[in-house]
Amino acid sequence: MRQTEIILPDPQPKQVLFLRDKHRYVAFGGARGGGKSWAIRIKATILCMAHKGIRCCIVRRTYSELEENHITPFLELLPQGAYKYNDSKKVLKFKGGSKVYFRYCKNDEDLRFFQGVEYDVIFIDEATQILEHHFKQIAASCRGVNPFPKRVYLTCNPGGVGHAWVKRLFVDRDFREGEDPEEYSFIQSLVTDNKKLLESSPDYKKILEALPPRKREAWLHGKWDLIEGQYFEEFDRSIHVIDPFAIPKEWRRYRAIDYGLDMLSCLWIAISPERVAYVYRELHQENLIISEAARRIVELNDTERGEEIYQTFAPPDLWNRSQETGKSKAQLFYESGLSLSKSNNDREAGWLAIKELLHLREDGSVRIYFFKNCVNLIKNLPLLQYDEKRPNDCANEPHEITHDPDALRYFAIAWTRPSPEVEEEGTVRWTVDQWEDYDRASPSEREYLIMRWGKPAPRR
């Protein structure tokens, strides 16, 4: 006969605190190796045994992390006769009818797992890898009309795209309207609280001790103040975000776009006589074909007040010609009433240009400010993380936060780069790249290029 009785291993003191905590939102850990993922599996099992029919859900950022950290060890923990696992539905069903669903949430599309679904208890493992608006939607599915407990348990390590919101709620306890402080609890657990791990892998602590200082402080000692991983450490809401003001008409204005069917991001930037940039408007909209995108951008211009845009920067790949139509996206924008100027797609140089603008100078000034209505850019810029493989670049994930910073990058690099040399009156020295594009262009595109870049001086 197959064994059905579940015998749980003994928790350690910090894990006991976690297992007993009954707040609506409980965060556990705050450092590496404190026994967080283990505690989630045990808590889920206890709940499933105590409340027959309860629906629990364990969330991680990706499926492979779920499988490695939870599904496999969970199935090893339980005796075979005590459960059934449905691999296609990713649900573990206990003998008494309780269920544990395994779900991942990397981007907006994955929120489908939480729409119109009710879970009694949700565990978000590594919540610091999850965006705040994803957390909110996931937490919103923690509900139901039954007597089972309704709770969200989170585990966390400092660093990651969710660092700021987890720190705000559980470490700083800096609550906003609608958030009840009584509902939030944080139990810190360090690797030194996980004696079982220290006994079985004594080298693990040494690995943490050998990390670079900031990461070591964060992962070994659970320090949250060193915002490990944030790419634009220079960004400071209290400095860079300002109340809107009426921009003098004579200030030069630019736009910068990042275009894809999944997202159009367009920024409007005005330059003061002191050469300080003010990002004063943004457009952040999904699913626009080029003609609609061009129309939306143009119609947002305040023509009544004579708002004039000097140039609209865009990434160079918009000039690649489509194999089917023979036309580039830049050409299609032009035909829809919006002429674009080619920016540069050197990522590292572009990010560096933004860093220069954000940099706080000795006199307390910076070279770029954001009007507070530019909510998406202000939200997404500080979320960008360092790329783990290319230390000067920022990560491309999660993809949806990259569009507004990319548009800013196309502006920053184009605006801070020295303007093209002016040759004989009325002509401009084109770069080799520009000549290459011109040579490949059709006659109508050539007209358009001359209009955008100015009449070229003879090639050298």
Question: Residue 100's closest CA among 62, 133, 57?
Answer: 57
Please say which residue, 36 or 281, places its beta carbon nearer to ligand ATP.
36
Residue 29 C-beta: closest distance to ligand ATP, Å: 6
Does 12 bind ligand ATP (CB under 6 A)? Our answer is yes
Please say which residue, 110 or 125, places its beta carbon nearer to ligand ATP.
125
- Distance (Å) of CA 298 to CA 155, 255, 355: 46, 11, 29
Does 222 bind ligand ATP (CB under 6 A)? Our answer is no
Please say which residue, 76 or 177, places its beta carbon nearer to ligand ATP.
76
Question: 18 with 189: CB under 8 angstroms?
Answer: yes
Question: 346 with 318: CB under 8 angstroms?
Answer: no
Non-local CB neighbours of 232 within 8 Å, separated by 6+ positions: 354, 355, 358, 381, 382, 384
Phi and psi at residue 2, to the nearest 5° = -75, 140
Please say which residue, 36 or 409, places its beta carbon nearer to Mg ion.
36
Does 33 bind ligand ATP (CB under 6 A)? Our answer is yes
Question: Residue 314's closest CA among 407, 200, 416?
Answer: 407
Quote the tokens at residue 28. 């556990």
In the region spanning residues 108 to 167, those forming contacts with ligand ATP, defined by CB under 6 A, are 157
Window contacting ligand ATP (CB under 6 A); options: 6-14, 130-138, 224-232, 362-370: 6-14
The DSSP string of 299-317 is HHS-GGGT---SEEEE-GG
Cα gap 81→84, rounded to integer Å: 8
Residue 33 C-beta: closest distance to ligand ATP, Å: 5
Does 70 bind ligand ATP (CB under 6 A)? Our answer is no
Window contacting ligand ATP (CB under 6 A); options: 32-40, 177-185, 323-331, 334-342: 32-40
In the region spanning residues 320 to 339, those forming contacts with ligand ATP, defined by CB under 6 A, are none
**What does the binding site for Mg ion look like in residue numbers (CB under 5 A)?**
36-37
Residue 99 C-beta: closest distance to Mg ion, Å: 22
Residue 128 C-beta: closest distance to ligand ATP, Å: 10
3-state helix, strand, coil in the chain (%, to 5): 40, 20, 40
Site string for ligand ATP, 192-211 (x = CB under 6 A): --x-xx--------------
- Distance (Å) of CA 124 to CA 58, 102, 142, 191, 307: 6, 10, 12, 20, 47
Does 288 bind ligand ATP (CB under 6 A)? Our answer is no
Window contacting ligand ATP (CB under 6 A); options: 29-37, 262-270, 339-347, 374-382: 29-37
Q: Residue 12's binding partner, choosing from ligand ATP, Mg ion, none, with beta-carbon cut-off 5 to 8 A by kind?
A: ligand ATP
Residue type for position 374? C
Residue 159 C-beta: closest distance to ligand ATP, Å: 11
Q: Please give the residue ranges that form the binding site for ligand ATP (CB under 6 A).
A: 9, 11-12, 15, 29, 32-38, 157, 194, 196-197
